[in-house]
A and B are shown apart, each in its own frame.
Chain A
């Protein structure tokens, strides 16, 4: 399909052309069987889209809404499946790190020698060097991960479960 020509045909169907442009498009359509076929397809699409009707909900729609005005609505959080996958990922990560910590993988201290930074041609201020204990950082990250795991567990498993039970009673 020819994009600029098609755009003019859409505008023709939408009634957006000036009388002069409209007359010109109509002349072109008369001359070209291919354009006629294209216009027929476009006209049918427009007709179909315009024919979309406004649907009627069930009779007790309003009553259901009015009876639940103070109900807690579903939040836009994770789906149960994605929530469980995320939870599983966090648990696996925490267990792996715990295993590595138990093996002593993070026991060493790393020296960060900021005082030995050497940038040619630049005057550097005196910076201290210090030791970083990887174990502390990993421990802090694990606490954050476990906190996140509890939030995910609450949002995707516990709350939906208890809300369902409340609705059934």
Chain B
């Protein structure tokens, strides 16, 4: 969808044609859902948060300044909605599997590619929330550093530091595993 088509849809919605909003929802729902899922790590909650974000965006569409991209504005709403869902969780639970990083000497098996993949997946959940979100959003194909900064409402330099720190930490964890693997060979 071009920016012009997007602005046409927005104008139609603002002039009372609510059905035109369907086009915007259909176009952005996958990214909105993915962002919410990265933050909440739970499909049902992420779906609810992303839907809430679209409803909020519809209700506040008049406040959208067309100087920026609609997607950036929408994703910021998705991000904030998902964060507020995360804060509202009644009980904070952590999957025990995510808390314990199984090292190769504990499993007794050589780390294959899939194991490494699983290990990084576990390690990423050990990062602090802001670093994890920054690095995951940055690597989601579409987003530039500026867009991630806009979504998270933080300066670009802070996002750069978060991304660097996060991937450095992941690499350190993986290095540790690789060294253990070399020792057991």
Residues of chain A touching chain B, judged by Cβ–Cβ distance below 8 Å, are 1, 3, 6-7, 10, 37-38, 40-42, 44-46, 48-50, 52, 54-58, 61-62, 64-66, 68-71, 73-74, 76, 79-81
List residues 115-171 of chain B with CB under 8 A from any CB of chain A.
116-117, 120-121, 135-136, 139-141, 164, 167-168, 170-171
Summarize B's interface: helix, strand, loop or mixed.
helix
- A55–B58 touching, CB < 8 Å: no
Q: Tell me what chain A mostly uses at the interface: helix, strand, loop, or mixed.
A: helix
Q: A48-B117, A52-B140 are in contact. Are A61 and B167 (CB under 8 A)?
A: no
Query: Which A-B residue pairs are the 7 nearest by beta carbons?
Result: A49-B139, A57-B33, A41-B174, A76-B84, A48-B120, A45-B170, A65-B54
Chain B: minimal CB distance from A71 (Å): 6
User: In the complex the two chains form, is B167's CB within 8 Å of A79's CB?
Assistant: no
Q: For the complex, count residues of B whose C-beta is within 8 A of A.
A: 51
CB distance from B83 to the nearest CB of A (A): 8
Q: Can you report 8 residue pairs joining A to B where beta carbons are below 8 Å apart?
A: A44-B120, A52-B139, A55-B46, A62-B26, A65-B25, A71-B55, A73-B52, A74-B52
Q: How far is the CA of A55 from the CA of B142 in the complex (A)?
A: 13
Q: List, in ascending order, chain A residues with CB within 8 A of B141's CB.
A: 54
* Measured CA separation A40–B179 after assembly (Å): 12
Q: How far is the CA of A58 from the CA of B140 in the complex (A)?
A: 20
Closest to A78 in B: B88
Residue of B nearest to A6 (CB): B168
Chain A residues positioned under 8 Å from B140 (CB to CB): 52, 54
A57 to B168, CA, bound (A): 31
Distance (whole angstroms) from the CB of B171 to the closest CB of chain A: 5
Q: Are A44 and B116 closer than 8 Å at their CB atoms?
A: yes
